[in-house]
């Protein structure tokens, strides 16, 4: 069917008009028409596109209404990690931050870009040739979830921008205004449904829905705050970046400023704090970033946080309540945490009934007892905690609490080392509280690498009591598996075949799969090389473990505590009985430290994965480090190499590619 010119022109005009009104409403907060008028224009465009489907462009406002629910989210690997920002809770920590920045840069004063810290969900948006092609959550910082379908329904997020960049990756926050949150809860009450706790939960829950129509039904907002990647970098400061984002049509927080030094930072903090309750959106602090981008790159990162940024939190709201009981929670890693069960109290926008007491030392320091009146706050506006006890209100019958000697979940011994504040359950492979995490770790890619054994399936296997320890996995049958949700006969058969394949492994993978505390991949590899087989490791004393390269007293003690627990040794015997095998080898003589070279891998390598490169390097007795220093011998760089490559060049460390790496390993 030929599309009449008048209809084509009208559709184009409607698209432009609707996006203009979206910008006026969500970006500039200055609507020109009522919701009813907007809906009339929207329905007219829907009608034209239904009659002439070829007019329904990818960036049409009608694409924001949501689509058929997804089965699951796929994973997205971030080009640049989405890192967390270190927190400060008082002025002295801000002074320390500024001093550290100035000393690192060797300058007398620094300008900072400052803005509120939004209480929402961080997301990444990727545009190709100006079209939104992917949206993702932060996830673990390196890998997030693909939520493109949901983010397309968030009206302040542009589906198309006037950009000549081949690739542009924008970072920002999805949030919900207070008034929209109030309207949402009013609708929930009217329909007899459960109300949402706070705007952040409502926004985050909507964005991480498998049904994008649910997301479309929420009035969500978005603020852009960074450009993480661009095929053409043309700006020099963070403030200029925000101006560029605003020019491209992204909503950018208007309550921002560029300030100088500590006085400017603290002044901004006080100014925003005074207007905090009047803001349209909830915040829990402000964020400071070194304004010059070249200085940001020079400062780099420490651990999982940038050195050039700081989140300055506001004091949490506090309330009085009563401790009704003190229980112990066993975490997924075996940590035992005392938890106060409270008389319900409204704190920081939510009703709090439980509060963490952190650990035994903290509980003793605060002298919290059952029956006490306590001050409760939401630390960082997130985790409820007991701040202090009102001793003047203590009753004679108030009872002291004592940590258990046995794990309340499995009965294994509770271990607390002298140099640690946290008590832990030693029954890692059999403890019900740790069972799911232990199984997921056991099946992980770097452990036994059991494809198809994901979180949802592990939940079902544990909840239905089909699997109590890793050894039970190898006794599963097709008939047991095919009755589980989202499993059929074919999927069940595939998993059984995968379990059979995974029985043939290596000693280092098996050691790592056991989930011994403080034993990572590198330590597992060193243990396997040192002992050559499992039995010598099981018999090794703490003194013999200290002979292993890079194994110190803490690691040696963790290994012995794990292996001394009868439950864990029993599971290891059952794994062997189930047919788990590995090549037996003689004890390896470690390469002399003077001969070993240190490599750092960065970017996407040509012809091999980074795991393959790591394996090739370590097979020759050399080491792979996570960061570049003067002691680094070589940096192996591939496509999209980041700050590690820049640091290598600044330190004069030799940079090679994957091809040269293989040649070098032959020479070495």
Radius of gyration of the CA atoms of the chain, in A: 28
133 and 26 within one domain: no
Lookup: tokens for 429 = 């492979």
* Contact indicator for 422, 363 with CB cutoff of 8 Å: no
Q: For residue 594, what pLDDT band results from cuts at 50, 70 and 90?
A: very low
Residue 591 predicted with pLDDT over 70: no
604 and 571 within one domain: no
CA distances from 186 to 65, 181, 193, 206 (A): 22, 9, 10, 17
Span 100-137, pLDDT tens digits: 999 999 999 999 999 999 888 899 999 998 999 999 99
Q: Is the dihedral of CA 296, 301, 307, 312 positive or negative?
A: positive
Q: For residue 593, what pLDDT band results from cuts at 50, 70 and 90?
A: very low
- The CATH number of whichever domain residue 146 belongs to comes to 3.30.470.30
Write down the pLDDT at residue 123. 93
Select from 259, 378, 226, 223 the least CA-distant residue to 314.
Answer: 378
* Contact indicator for 145, 136 with CB cutoff of 8 Å: yes
Backbone angles phi and psi of 592, in degrees to 5: -60, 140
382's torsion region: left (phi>0), alpha (psi -120 to 50) or beta?
alpha
364 and 290 within one domain: no
Residue 57 lies in a domain: yes
512 and 493 within one domain: no
156 and 135 within one domain: yes
Strand order across the 111-118 sheet: 87-88, 309-313, 283-290, 111-118, 257-260
Helix (H) or strand (E) holding 644: helix 643-651
545 and 488 within one domain: no
479 and 331 within one domain: no
Last residue of a domain, one of 278, 297, 313: 313
Residue 44: give the domain boundaries.
Answer: 5-65
Residue 228 lies in a domain: yes
DSSP H helices in 261-359:
261-275, 293-299
Select from 228, 180, 214, 225 the least CA-distant residue to 200.
Answer: 180
Last residue of a domain, one of 349, 377, 393: 393
297 and 323 within one domain: no
Q: How many domains does the chain have?
A: 6
Residue 76 lies in a domain: no
Write down the pLDDT at residue 592. 46
d(CA 92, CA 504): 56
Write down the pLDDT at residue 212. 79
Q: What percent of the chain has pLDDT over 90?
A: 38
Residues in the chain: 668
Distance of CA 520 to the CA centre of its chain: 19
Q: For residue 20, what pLDDT band results from cuts at 50, 70 and 90?
A: confident
* Contact indicator for 635, 661 with CB cutoff of 8 Å: no
Is residue 118 packed enough to be buried (19+ CB in 10 Å), middle (13-18) or exposed (0-12)? buried
Is residue 277 packed enough to be buried (19+ CB in 10 Å), middle (13-18) or exposed (0-12)? exposed
Residue 333 lies in a domain: yes
Half-sphere exposure of 585 (CA within 13 A, CB side): 15
Between residues 624 and 227, which one has the greater pLDDT?
A: 227
d(CA 195, CA 201): 11
94 and 237 within one domain: yes
Residue 37 predicted with pLDDT over 50: yes
Q: What percent of the chain has pLDDT over 70?
A: 93
604 and 559 within one domain: no
100 and 16 within one domain: no
* Contact indicator for 142, 78 with CB cutoff of 8 Å: yes
Residue 588 predicted with pLDDT over 60: no
Lookup: tokens for 403 = 């940590």
Residue 355 lies in a domain: yes
Question: What is the DSSP pairing of strand 257-260 with strand 414-415?
Answer: unpaired
DSSP H helices in 248-387:
261-275, 293-299, 360-366
Lowest mean pLDDT among 3-17, 23-37, 429-443: 23-37
Residue 286 lies in a domain: yes
- The CATH number of whichever domain residue 557 belongs to comes to 1.10.150.20
- The CATH number of whichever domain residue 50 belongs to comes to 1.10.287.610
d(CA 119, CA 200): 6
Span 239-298, pLDDT tens digits: 999 999 999 999 999 999 999 999 999 999 999 998 887 898 988 899 999 999 999 999
Burial 604-617, CB ≥16 within 10 A → b, else e: ebeebebeebbebb
Q: For residue 25, what pLDDT band results from cuts at 50, 70 and 90?
A: low
Selecting among 28, 117, 366, 631, the annotated active-site residue is 117
d(CA 668, CA 666): 6
Residue 67 makes CB contacts below 8 A (sequence gap 6+) with 149, 212, 213
Other beta carbons less than 10 A from residue 485's beta carbon: 8
Span 203-232, pLDDT tens digits: 888 887 777 787 888 889 999 999 988 876
Span 392-420, pLDDT tens digits: 999 999 999 999 999 998 888 898 877 67
386 and 496 within one domain: no
- The CATH number of whichever domain residue 378 belongs to comes to 2.40.50.140
Catalytic, 117? Answer yes
d(CA 246, CA 227): 12
* Contact indicator for 76, 136 with CB cutoff of 8 Å: yes
Taking all residues of the chain, what is their mean pLDDT, rounded to a whole number?
86
- The CATH number of whichever domain residue 659 belongs to comes to 3.40.50.10190
Residue 38 lies in a domain: yes
Residue 442 lies in a domain: no
Residue 197 predicted with pLDDT over 70: no
């Amino acid at each position: 069917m030929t599309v009449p010119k008048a209809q084509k022109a009208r559709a184009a005009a409607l698209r432009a008009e609707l996006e203009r009104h979206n910008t006026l409403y969500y970006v500039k907060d200055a609507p020109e028409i009522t919701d009813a008028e907007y809906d009339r224009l929207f329905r007219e465009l829907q009608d034209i596109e239904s009659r002439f489907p070829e007019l329904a462009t990818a960036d049409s406002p009608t694409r924001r209404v949501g689509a058929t629910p997804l089965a699951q989210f796929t994973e997205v690997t971030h080009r640049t990690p989405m890192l967390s920002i270190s927190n400060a809770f008082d002025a002295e920590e801000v002074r320390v931050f500024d001093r550290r920045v100035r000393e690192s840069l060797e300058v007398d004063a620094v300008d900072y870009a400052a803005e509120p810290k939004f209480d929402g969900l961080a997301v990444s948006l990727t545009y190709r040739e100006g079209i939104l092609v992917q949206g993702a959550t932060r996830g673990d910082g390196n890998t997030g979830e693909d939520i493109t379908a949901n983010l397309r329904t968030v009206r302040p997020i542009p589906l198309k921008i006037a950009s000549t960049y081949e690739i542009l990756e924008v970072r920002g926050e999805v949030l919900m205004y207070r008034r929209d949150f109030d309207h949402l809860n009013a609708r929930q009450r009217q329909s007899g449904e459960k109300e949402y706790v706070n705007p952040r939960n409502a926004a985050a829950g909507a964005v991480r829905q498998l049904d994008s129509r649910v997301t479309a039904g929420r009035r969500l907002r978005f603020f852009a705050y960074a450009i993480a990647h661009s095929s053409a970098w043309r700006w020099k400061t963070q403030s200029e970046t925000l101006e560029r984002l605003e020019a491209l049509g992204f909503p950018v927080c208007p309550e921002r400023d560029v300030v100088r030094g500590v006085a400017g930072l603290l002044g901004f903090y006080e100014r925003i704090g005074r207007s905090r309750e009047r803001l349209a959106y909830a915040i829990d602090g402000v964020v400071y970033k070194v304004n010059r981008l070249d200085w940001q790159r020079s400062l780099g990162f420490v651990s999982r946080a940038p050195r050039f940024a700081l989140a300055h939190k506001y004091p949490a709201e506090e309330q009085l309540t009563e401790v009704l009981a003190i229980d112990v929670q066993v975490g997924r890693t075996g940590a035992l945490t005392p938890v106060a069960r409270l008389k319900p109290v409204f704190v920081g926008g939510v009703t709090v009934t439980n509060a963490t007491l952190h650990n035994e030392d903290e509980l003793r320091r605060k002298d919290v007892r059952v029956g006490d009146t306590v001050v409760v706050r939401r630390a960082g506006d997130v985790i409820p905690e007991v701040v202090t006890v009102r001793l003047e209100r203590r009753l004679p019958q108030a009872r002291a609490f004592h940590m258990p000697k046995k794990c309340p979940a499995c009965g294994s011994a509770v271990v607390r080392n002298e140099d640690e504040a946290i008590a832990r359950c030693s029954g890692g492979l059999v403890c019900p509280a740790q069972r799911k995490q232990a199984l997921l770790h056991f099946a992980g890619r770097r452990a036994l690498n059991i494809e198809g054994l994901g979180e949802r399936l592990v939940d079902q296997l544990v909840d239905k009591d089909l699997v109590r320890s890793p050894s039970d996995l190898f006794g599963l049958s097709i008939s047991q598996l095919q009755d589980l949700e989202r499993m059929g006969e074919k999927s069940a058969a595939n998993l059984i075949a995968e379990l059979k394949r995974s029985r043939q492994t290596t000693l280092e993978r098996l050691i790592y799969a056991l989930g011994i505390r403080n034993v990572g991949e590198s330590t597992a590899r060193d243990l396997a090389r040192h002992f050559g087989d499992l039995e010598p490791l099981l018999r090794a004393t703490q003194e013999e473990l200290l002979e292993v390269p890079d194994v110190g007293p803490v690691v040696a003690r963790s290994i012995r505590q794990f292996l001394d627990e009868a439950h864990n040794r029993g599971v290891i015997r059952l794994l062997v009985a189930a047919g788990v095998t590995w090549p037996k080898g003689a004890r390896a003589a470690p390469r002399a430290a003077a001969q070993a070279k240190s490599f750092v891998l960065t970017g996407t390598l040509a012809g091999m994965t980074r795991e393959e490169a790591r394996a090739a390097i370590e097979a020759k007795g050399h080491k792979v480090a996570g960061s570049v220093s003067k002691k680094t011998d070589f940096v192996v760089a591939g496509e999209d190499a980041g700050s590690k490559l820049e640091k290598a060049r600044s330190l004069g460390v030799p940079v090679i590619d994957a091809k040269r790496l293989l040649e070098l390993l032959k020479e070495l």
